[in-house]
Structure 1
Amino acid sequence: MEKQWWHTKTAYQIYPKSFCDTNGDGIGDLPGIIDKLDYLKDLGIDILWLSPIYCSPLADQGYDISDYYNIDPRFGTMEDMDRLIAEAKKRDMYILMDLVVNHCSDEHAWFRKACEDPEGEYGKYFYIEDCPDGKRPCNWRSYFGGSVWEPLPGHQDKCYLHMFHKKQPDLNWENPKLREEIYTMINWWLDKGLAGFRIDAIINIKKPLPWQDYPADRADGLCSAGEVLKHADGIGAFLSEMRDRCFLPHGAFTVGEVFNEKPEELPDFIGDHGYFSSMFDFNETIFGGSGNGWYDQTPITPNDYRSCCFASQKKVGDIGMLSNIIENHDEPRGVSRYIPEGECSIPAKKLLATMNIMLRGLPFIYQGQEIGMENVEFQSIREVNDISTLDEYQVARKAGLTPDAALKAVNRLSRDNARTPFQWDASANAGFTDGTPWLPVNRNYTRINLASQKNDPDSVYQYYRRLLALRKDPRYAETVVYGDLVPVFEDQDRVMAYYRTSAAQTLLVIGNYKTEPQTLTLSSKIRKVVLNNLPQLKTEGDTITLEGYQAVILDVSSDS
């Protein structure tokens, strides 16, 4: 693997709508992000990924774009965006935007023109088909429920394809004119000074054509989008063209949201000459998934989490570098997901951070993760904003769950868990806004907030700062960033441990994923305790005793 400038960095995802509001309208904005750049730099962040801030009707929180060339007034102005890029550059920080080009908004000018003349130039920018008597071209199910086909406005004998929300018509990548429009837009943003993009839902741009039905997997007679993806071949032609036309000439950093890739395709995606610089590891997030819906998903255990992480590391090896996450805007809070119920303590949050960030790959921190923000406890489905959660609630109810049971099932995985406002302090609305927040603040904000942790050396926040600093510490950087990863103690119940090895040294990362102590025999001599989430480490001869949820990083002799 060739070394790249971004390998030594740490990335941070900002969900702008919920980060920091400076004008009191209850919605976070670009000036708020600029105001917090010094905070992020001090945390140890180098790369900032902004979830969509383009003009949008917000049917899917900005992932339905109505104008790729303008900033939505809710978030600020293009002048604010230019200032953000400039201020970040002053701090040696890099800005990524969300690239959403599988679909646009039904309020985009392209789609409006397609509705006016489905047979014209813009009609070919989308997948528009004849639907006589409402007969659909195929039985695919949208990611948000229901058929992917919707009647075309003004043309009841025609329908258009939307793999996501009905207000998100899919763009027809088979059309070279459409691709040219996209490449022009990408290069326009890169020319403005963006460092690159996080690339949304990109695996969906290639459809298996011609349209055909696949076996139904629910009573609605439809098949899942995941099943559809299995039958789509040839996406590489699109992705390599986009790389060559846009990313390579600008030296851009790109990280793909990629599901369903085949192991043999990994070099194509993230090898030295891959379509993208990196791709997210979703192995842990998809664990236990069920075709029946969220209500039937198997909760992940500590041993499962360990197995998922190690499987991803083994699969990628030295092909490239994954981007590792604990949570993001589409997932619940990681501490509420990967720490068993009733065990979500401060040491447990630090252990989870240690196990994830010390993996080989680029760490992506999601806003609020660094202070240990937790899931929301919805009292009613009426408190839910997320369209995906609302759909899954109905799926659970139709499966026979009571309202309370259905609410509990979707609460565990709701995207709203990560979208509540950042908890800056214990003042009204957690210091996020002087107005009424667009989404209610998590009720635990007086207990969990940045202000209470900022100057506390034992806080989750300060632990994250120390952990992220290891990636830049010249004593350890080569091993942490590029060292091999070798799992150890895999047969020990609820112990997650691995070596990070380089020619210079061997680090042992080890955590007790239980509430009670565990004693382990080491095969290497401890030379130094590099980081410890508890005040002390009990050692005796070649054994160590880890307290409940204790995590340590040890510099050990290399004869392991």
Structure 2
Amino acid sequence: MKKKWWHEKIGYQIYPKSFLDTNGDGVGDLAGVIEKLPYLEQLGVDILWLSPVYPSPMVDNGYDISDYENIDPRFGTLEDMDRLIAEAKKKNISIIMDLVVNHCSDQHAWFQKAIADPKGSYGDYFYLKEGKDGKEPNNWRSYFGGSVWEKLPGQENLFYYHAYAKEQPDLNWENPALREEIYKMVNWWLDRGIAGFRIDAIINIKKDLTWEDLPVDGPDGRGFLTNSITRMQKRDGGTKNGIGVFLRELKERCFAPHDAFTVGEVFEVDREQLEEFIGEDGYFSTMFAFDPIQSYKKGTCQCEFDRNMNPDEWKRDVFVNQKLLGDIAFEANIIENHDMARGATIYIPDEDYGFASISALAGLQVLQRGMPFLYQGQEIGMTNCPFELEDIDDIMTLDNYRYAVACGFPEEKAFAGCARESRDNARTPMQWSDAENAGFTTGKPWLKVNPNYPEINVARQEKEYGSVLNFYRRLLCFRKSEEYRDLLTYGTFEPMYEDQEKIFAFKRCLGKQCLTVICNESPAERFLTLKEDYEEVVFVNLPQVTRIGDNLILHPYQLIVVETTKK
């Protein structure tokens, strides 16, 4: 694999609205990110992804953008953004922004002009279609529930398409004029000094232009729109001649000239598509490794996702994914992000929550092959929040709840499941201290603060050598150490002890240098018969390592990294 400047980096996602509020309005801001740059530097991260800070009505918390070339006053100003970029560079930290170009806000000037003159040039910036006998053009269901179609204001039988909320009209990538506007904006930000982008919902920019109805898969008489993408790709023989045309142009016009780092939000691609998307000449630098973190979702409604991740299923899916990747691609490994429940809740049973289990999870993520990407609060073990219905802000959670009830689930069960999976779990304010509102704000927080903040917070963990936070600092330092950096970046990935239940183990090798990672993912002590000898234990989460002959005695949730020599 050809070495790239970002390969050895550690990523960290910031949800600015919930990171740190410096002016007391209850909303995090760019000044708060700047204030915490020393903290992030000490943690060991190199690339900061900021969730959207553009002007927005906040229907979908910033993913409905009304102006692509400005900063929302809630977060600060363009000057604040320039200062963040400059201050971060002094600490060798790169800033990447969210690129949300599948859709915009219905308050964006383009859409307002389309409303004013649907047959004018801006009408073609969106997907406008005549209805069928006054009803929607087809039966597709959006990601947030309900039809993907909404009547264009002032029109009797003209609808616009939205894959997400009705306030987020999809942009028409088939229109060259629209694409030129996007490329101009992307280059404007790159020229301003950011290092690249996380690309949101990008697989949706290519539509099935037949607009044919989908098989009904729910009580609402609709079909889920992702089936249209699958149908289109199957019909067209993949993605190269479809979305690939757009993505290649985007890369050549914007990303490649700036040597930008790009990480795509892309789901369910096969080996051929992996190379196409993130291979040596792929559309993006990397993409998030979503496949291995979906196995616990077995139900058809969000309210059925009421179990923890099965460690053996997770191990199996990681091994399958790593084999699929081989040496052709380099993914970004995650445990959580702004669209998911907290990893410490999903991966760890409540009764097992603690330093050992959280640090074991951290080690398994960070030491895999691929780029580690942390999410704010993950480094202190933040958990899901106990919500009531009136606490929920997330539009997707509320839609999932209504849909679950429509599916026949009792309201209490429907809410319990949807709340467990709610995106709001990841969006509760960052827990900086045991001061009021977790030290996040002196005002009223925009979203409920998790009540466990007096026990789980940065200030407390900074004082404890054996805290989760300080473990993450040691772990990232180990990953980036001169002795093991190349091995843990470019080394091969070989599954180990696959037949051992709740033992997650793998070997990383580069040349003759090898490290074997062994983790007991259970609350019980385990005996493991070694298949190889090791020279030295080089990293652990728990200090006591016991070996009796060819057997390791693994304590509950113990993670051990041993050095071996490849024969």
Question: Is this a same-fold pair by TM over 0.5?
Answer: yes
Structure 2 residues without counterparts, runs of 5 or longer: 234-241
Report the aligned-residue RMSD: 1.2
Deviation, structure 1 residue 157:
1.5
Aligned residue type for 1:189: W
Q: Is the 8 A contact 2:17 2:28 kept in 1?
A: yes
1:21-100, aligned counterparts within 5 Å?
Answer: 21-100=21-100
Deviation, structure 1 residue 545:
0.6
Q: Is the 8 A contact 2:97 2:197 kept in 1?
A: yes
Structure 2: how far apart are the matches of 1:381 and 1:517? 40
Q: Which residue of 1 aligns with 2:109?
A: 109
Is 1:339 aligned with 2:356? no
Structure 2: how far apart are the matches of 1:453 and 1:537? 24
Q: Which residue of 2 aligns with 1:454?
A: 462
Q: Which residue of 1 aligns with 2:140?
A: 140
Structure 2: how far apart are the matches of 1:297 and 1:37? 36
Deviation, structure 1 residue 320:
1.4
1:319-398, aligned counterparts within 5 Å?
Answer: 319-378=328-387, 380-398=388-406
Counterpart selection for 2:489 from 481, 491, 507: 481
Deviation, structure 1 residue 428:
0.2
Is 1:131 aligned with 2:139? no
Q: Which residue of 2 aligns with 1:426?
A: 434
Number of residue pairs matched?
Answer: 558
Aligned residue type for 1:14: I
Q: Which residue of 1 aligns with 2:293?
A: 285
Aligned residue type for 1:353: A
Counterpart selection for 1:258 from 260, 266, 273: 266
Residues 483-504 of structure 1, C-alpha deviations (whole Å, 9 max, x = no match)? 0010111111111000011114
Deviation, structure 1 residue 290:
5.4
Deviation, structure 1 residue 37:
0.5
Residues 4-51 of structure 1, C-alpha deviations (whole Å, 9 max, x = no match)? 010001010000000000000000000000000011000001000000
Is 1:239 aligned with 2:285? no
Structure 2: how far apart are the matches of 1:58 and 1:479? 43
Counterpart selection for 2:444 from 424, 428, 436: 436
Q: Is the 8 A contact 1:524 1:557 kept in 2?
A: no
Aligned residue type for 2:293: T
Name the SS of the counterpart of 2:216 in structure 1: coil
Deviation, structure 1 residue 132:
4.9
Q: Which residue of 2 aligns with 1:197?
A: 197
Name the SS of the counterpart of 1:284 in structure 2: helix
TM-score with structure 2 setting the length: 0.97
Q: Is the 8 A contact 1:534 1:550 kept in 2?
A: yes
Q: Which residue of 1 aligns with 2:175?
A: 175
Name the SS of the counterpart of 1:70 in structure 2: coil
Aligned residue type for 1:475: E
Name the SS of the counterpart of 2:141 in structure 1: coil
Moved more, 134-143 or 482-491: 134-143
Moved more, 173-182 or 276-285: 276-285
Structure 1: how far apart are the matches of 2:213 and 2:438? 49
Classify 1:292/1:472 alpha carbon distance in 2 versus 1 (closer, same or farther; 3 Å): closer
Structure 2: how far apart are the matches of 1:453 and 1:271? 40
Q: Is the 8 A contact 1:525 1:557 kept in 2?
A: no
Q: Which residue of 1 aligns with 2:555?
A: 547
1:304-323, aligned counterparts within 5 Å?
Answer: 304-323=313-332
Aligned residue type for 1:275: Y
Q: Which residue of 2 aligns with 1:220?
A: 220
Name the SS of the counterpart of 1:68 in structure 2: coil
Structure 2: how far apart are the matches of 1:30 and 1:119? 40
Structure 1 runs of 4+ off > 4 angstroms?
none
Q: Is the 8 A contact 1:132 1:158 kept in 2?
A: no
Moved more, 302-311 or 241-250: 302-311
Q: Which residue of 1 aligns with 2:278?
A: 270
Q: Is the 8 A contact 1:11 1:45 kept in 2?
A: yes
Deviation, structure 1 residue 471:
2.4
Q: Which residue of 1 aligns with 2:239?
A: none
Deviation, structure 1 residue 525:
1.9
Residues 371-418 of structure 1, C-alpha deviations (whole Å, 9 max, x = no match)? 00001112x211111111111111222233222212221122110000
Moved more, 463-472 or 321-330: 463-472
Counterpart selection for 1:496 from 488, 498, 504: 504
Q: Is the 8 A contact 2:306 2:417 kept in 1?
A: no
Aligned residue type for 1:249: P
**Percent identical residues:** 54
Structure 2: how far apart are the matches of 1:156 and 1:261? 40
Deviation, structure 1 residue 288:
4.4
Q: Is the 8 A contact 2:219 2:407 kept in 1?
A: no
Name the SS of the counterpart of 1:229 in structure 2: helix
Residues 395-452 of structure 1, C-alpha deviations (whole Å, 9 max, x = no match)? 2222332222122211221100000000000000000000000001101000100111
Structure 2: how far apart are the matches of 1:382 and 1:397? 17
Aligned residue type for 1:473: S
Q: Is the 8 A contact 2:360 2:559 kept in 1?
A: yes
Deviation, structure 1 residue 524:
2.1
Structure 2: how far apart are the matches of 1:501 and 1:239? 34
Residues 184-205 of structure 1, C-alpha deviations (whole Å, 9 max, x = no match)? 0000000000100000000000
Deviation, structure 1 residue 291:
7.1
Deviation, structure 1 residue 298:
6.9
Is 1:529 aligned with 2:522? no
Classify 1:21/1:7 alpha carbon distance in 2 versus 1 (closer, same or farther; 3 Å): same
Name the SS of the counterpart of 1:370 in structure 2: helix
Moved more, 230-239 or 322-331: 230-239
Q: Which residue of 2 aligns with 1:466?
A: 474
Structure 2: how far apart are the matches of 1:13 and 1:295? 27
Deviation, structure 1 residue 295:
2.0
Q: Is the 8 A contact 1:494 1:513 kept in 2?
A: yes
Aligned residue type for 1:374: T
Name the SS of the counterpart of 1:258 in structure 2: coil
Aligned residue type for 1:140: W
Name the SS of the counterpart of 2:369 in structure 1: coil
Structure 2: how far apart are the matches of 1:195 and 1:156? 45
Structure 1 residues without counterparts, runs of 5 or longer: none
Q: Is the 8 A contact 1:486 1:500 kept in 2?
A: yes
Q: Is the 8 A contact 1:350 1:533 kept in 2?
A: yes
Name the SS of the counterpart of 1:520 in structure 2: strand
Moved more, 337-346 or 167-176: 337-346
Aligned residue type for 1:90: K
Deviation, structure 1 residue 261:
2.1
